[in-house]
Amino acid sequence: MTDSGLPIYLDYNATTPLHPTVVDAMLPYLREHFGNPSSGHVYGQRAKAAVERAREQVAALLGCQPDEILFTSGGTEANNLAIRGVLELSSGRRHIVTSAVEHPATVRPCELLERGGVEVTRLPVGSDGRVEAATAQAFVRGDTALATVMLAQNETGSLMPVAALAGVAHERGTLIHTDAAQAVGKIRTRVDELGVDLLSIAGHKLYAPKGVGALFVRRGVRLAPVLVGAGHERGLRPGTENVASIAGLGAACELAAADLEAEANRQRALRDVLWDSLSAAIPGLHLNGDGRASGVEDRQPHPDRLPNTLNLSFPGVRGSALLAAAPEVAASTGSACHGGAETPSAVLTAMGIDAATALGAVRLSLGRFTTREQIDKAAQALVSAWRSTRGIG
């Protein structure tokens, strides 16, 4: 438990707390600067200036131009606008390539288009949870309108070879989109290095509020709006801007840019301490998405994963039972409960992990406020919970 009596929070991939710097950036637009950014008077112009400042901050983190950033209500809306917006205007191209391990915010728009007659190809992943660019080479065709593959897998933290996939797509005149919600603010995410045409951000994954996000749209890429109304955000996202939250997203991006490498290294070191502690105490603990044999002899997670994420299958127990026996830790499992029965994570099963192992999975994700003391306490709690649940010691 923390000093406040709450569990140790190891679920930063689900959502992050607001950073104090972000709160400070938002407060003026929740209090005195309440104007509508579309208004011509001073109240509106102050609000508009905040939106444009945030646009510059987001663009600076991604290495793009401010006019290539559109603000949305979050990553889900950004994904829908990218995927459905491209297909709405595609002429003679009615094919999408995606991966088998996408977030529902990508899966569902693809399914919606599929029901309307669009063909969707879902690329398989290996035991490391990654798509192979060579596999994509065989499936991106002349009639492929869009390839959409996430940058970092939200359950396992596995990083996709998006830059290589972009090369494959562009060879065939295909646009490429990446859902970067789990990556932005954790690893270097520069649109030109990735070669992407569209990229989605969710504010609440990088210490900004829930309910705000952004979509990078490369100059020259045409989209149809998903929502219709007034002409906000170049006519692609109507509705009066959520000024305070947009200001918060801008501040969060500036904060991330200031210490990205140092903070990633700090979290990676803590993650590895957690892995070392757990793998030394729990024989057969499996690191999902590593693609290599796990165990005490293989101490460091694969480099092609987020620096803050471990997805571990605890042998002989279900992840849900383990977390129930460890109230000192707040974390997630990938399983779902239907009619009283648990089903394993679709992401893990797509990686070839058997159902029993997948049901034992727990995702542990660290963040800016995770400390070494918390890691040590969490490791002790999880080991104790595993032993008690297994009836050992």
* Active centre residues (catalytic): 337
Whole-angstrom Cα distance, residue 52 to residue 36?
Answer: 13
Q: Which amino acid is at 313?
A: S
Q: Are 106 and 79 in contact (CB under 8 A)?
A: yes
Whole-angstrom Cα distance, residue 388 to residue 366?
Answer: 25
* Burial degree of 253 (CB within 10 A; 0-12, 13-18, 19+): buried
Please report, for residues 209, 293, 348, the alpha-carbon distance to residue 282 in angstroms, rounded to integers and kept in the order given.
37, 15, 21
Q: Are 345 and 155 in contact (CB under 8 A)?
A: yes
CA 272 and chain centroid, separation: 21
Q: Which amino acid is at 243?
A: V
- Which of 203, 161, 212, 165 lies closest to 185 in space, CA to CA? 203
Whole-angstrom Cα distance, residue 104 to residue 153?
Answer: 12
CA 349 and chain centroid, separation: 19
* Burial degree of 21 (CB within 10 A; 0-12, 13-18, 19+): middle
- Output the six-digit token pair for 77: 């809306």
Q: Which amino acid is at 140?
A: V
Q: Are 113 and 82 in contact (CB under 8 A)?
A: no
- Output the six-digit token pair for 267: 């979290």
Whole-angstrom Cα distance, residue 383 to residue 314?
Answer: 10
- Which of 268, 326, 322, 312 lies closest to 1 in space, CA to CA? 326
In order, the DSSP letters of 226-272 are SS-SS-TGGGTS-S---HHHHHHHHHHHHHHHHHHHHHHHHHHHHHH
Residue 297: φ, ψ to 5°: -75, -15
